[in-house]
Structure 1
């Protein structure tokens, strides 16, 4: 005679919840976290109360859906509100100041930015000498376009 496997259904609920948590750690979207909570609260909770298997599945689905449509949007909104947009990589170079390290010849030269990087540069101003202070106005591939910053005492 075959044993009644429904008495071991609580193990399936725990395994499913752990699986959902592992997937959530890989995706970080709170979707599988809500499914894991639904399996624990609805499925395992109904199992511990002695409900039949189909009622356990229905409870897990209902709690998961409730969490997905109520708690998840609140968590995502709070997460996105707290993270300010910080420019990185090429976006962070725009507007940075730097110093000319090689005199510009025919509008091309070399500048060292405040972040320590040395870039090939272009400028519409042809008379930039070593040591002049510039600011980055655009990034074109591996070249930055710079504009001179007037020094104190110079006309703008």
Structure 2
């Protein structure tokens, strides 16, 4: 026990390294936070603090990082831009009318290099060929579009 009290920093370092290796296999950021606590315990041991103080510091830093730092890191690592698949990626895109569109007749638009059937989002308007439209919604195989205002 005498060696341990003289070299407690080495025990804390060994614990931190072991927890780091376990973290590599789990990838949940729990063992990394515990390793940070062990490193804090090592730091207090290097300053000459007794084992009890080093253990309290290690526990405090571990708890603080688990409660305060880990949720933010997990959110950043697991979050990201929303991946749009299928026809949902056309919403917000602009296209060109190729066949007249009105509330009474479905027309055609060129969207992302493809021809889509289209209806006006506002059924009271008529959109002539050549006008630029924006896709507001996709219902089945029909794009609901609205004309893009032009500055003239």
TM-score category by the smaller chain?
Answer: 0.5 to 0.7
Provide the rounded CA distance (Å) in 1 between the counterparts of 2:151 and 2:17: 70
TM-score, normalising length: structure 1: 0.52
Shift of 1:23: 6.2
Alignment match, 2:60: 62
Unaligned runs of 5+ in 1: none
Provide the rounded CA distance (Å) in 2 between the counterparts of 1:47 and 1:76: 29
Q: Per-residue CA shift, 1:100-137, capped at 9, x if unaligned? A: 24566973344233xx3535232146965543322212
Shift of 1:144: 2.0
Contact 2:134 2:147 in 1 (8 A): yes
TM-score, normalising length: structure 2: 0.53
Number of paired residues? Answer: 135
Alignment match, 1:34: 33
Q: Per-residue CA shift, 1:67-99, capped at 9, x if unaligned? A: 3445x28x939x97xxxx977636664343210
Superposition RMSD on alpha carbons, in Å?
A: 4.7
Alignment match, 2:117: 121
Alignment match, 2:14: 11
